[in-house]
Structure 1
Amino acid sequence: MADLYVHPDRLEIHLTRAEKALALRREDLVIPRDSISSVAITEDPWIWIRGIRAPGAAVPLTLSVGTWKFHGGKDFLLIKGKQRAAVVVDIAGEEFSRVIVSTPHAAKLVEALRVDADELPADGEVIE
């Protein structure tokens, strides 16, 4: 599972080697906090998927990793499992319009993103 780091100025999603291979991506995701327009927790991340996979990997209702293109831009998905909560991050003015990440720590991630940037440690907070 990807490691999530919340810094005062950015959200970092560090992908495992397998996730990078499935997503056909070399770099981790870095999202400036100023670009995040909304954050939500969902118990069913599959209903949030829009567009077609390009490039990435998918097994219906089991795994979706990579880029999904739709008429308004691109989304990045890292969804695993049928019964796992996910965080939906809407972004403005960046490579992706939306990032959906399944994580057992969804509530903690949303809480950390809602905290004022001045209250976070300079080296960030690891969401485990």
Structure 2
Amino acid sequence: MVTLLLDSDRLEVALSPVERLLTRRRGNVHVAREHIAKAMLTDDIWIWLRGVPSPGTTVPGVIAMGTWSTGAGDDFAVVRKRRPSVIIELDGHDEFHRLLVTTRHGRQLLHALRLEGAAQPEDVADVPPPA
């Protein structure tokens, strides 16, 4: 699963070498916190995918990784199978309209986004879940 790093200024989607290959992307995705408009959890991320991979890799129901081009703007997806996921809607980001990411740490991410954030990037998996 993808690694999500969050600090007081930005969210970073840190891609492994395999994820970089499948997304056809050289670097990680960086989003300033001020560009995050909304985040929500879903158990079926596949119904939220829209558009066509451009560039990207897809095997329906198995993986969807890369940029999905749509008339509403580009989405970035790192989706694996039918696992819990998070959808992050962006406002004013220069590259993407939404991020669709499979992660078992969705609740921690939503909780951490409500907090001020650490000075240094912190793996969302290390943020204690809400009580």
**TM-score under structure 2 normalisation?**
0.91
Task: Give the aligned partner of residue 77 of structure 1.
Answer: 77
Separation of aligned partners in 2, 1:114 and 1:89:
13
Which amino acid is the alignment partner of residue 121 of structure 2?
G
Q: Which runs of 5+ in 1 are unaligned?
A: none
The alignment partner of 1:123 has SS state of coil
When normalised by structure 1's length, the TM-score is 0.93
Amino acid at match of 2:31: I
1:89 is matched with which residue?
A: 88
Q: Say what the alpha-carbon RMSD is for the aligned residues.
A: 0.9
Note the C-alpha offset of 1:98: 0.1
Moved over 6 A (4+): none
- Equivalent-residue separation in structure 1 for 2:33 and 2:66 (angstroms): 21
Within 5 Å, give how 1:1-128 maps onto structure 2.
1-82=1-82, 84-94=83-93, 95-115=95-115, 117=116, 120-128=117-125
Deviation at 1:91, TM superposition (A): 0.4
Fraction of identical pairs, as percent: 36
State the shift of 1:124 in Å: 3.0
Looking at structure 2, the residues matched to 10 and 121 of structure 1 have their Cα atoms a distance apart, in angstroms, of 10
- In the alignment, structure 2 segments of 5+ residues that lack a partner are 126-131
Render the CA deviation track for 1:16-41: whole Å, top value 9, x for unaligned: 00000011100100000000100000
